[in-house]
Amino acid sequence: MKTFSVVPDANETSWYVKLEDVAPEEVYGSKDDALSAAEQMAKENTPSKVEIRDKDDNIQEEKRF
């Protein structure tokens, strides 16, 4: 199962979508944009999950596809 993470930068001004919590795949200006992109990537790569993390890298929410 692939894991896509939606993670903010330190100031929460940009949001990253990461595959397997490694290098960022894409950078987005809003959390909603990053989440939409991560969900689309997860749907195209089922089985997958999307983890929404806070600036301290704690998982806030998880969705499975």
Q: Look at the chain and report how many structural domains it folds into.
A: 1
The domain in which residue 29 lies consists of: 2-64
**CB 59, CB 51: distance < 8 Å:** yes
In sequence order, what are the residues at sequence separation of 6 or more whose Cβ sits closer than 8 angstroms to the Cβ of residue 32? none
User: Edge-to-edge strand order for the sheet containing 48-53?
Assistant: 24-28, 15-19, 2-8, 48-53, 59-64
Cβ atoms of 16 and 4 within 8 Å: the answer is no
Residue 42: predicted pLDDT = 96
**Per-residue pLDDT reduced to its tens digit, 17-65:** 999 877 777 899 999 999 999 999 999 999 999 999 999 989 999 999 9
Segments of 1-65 assigned E as strands: 2-8, 15-19, 24-28, 48-53, 59-64
Question: What is the pTM for the complete model shown?
Answer: 0.88
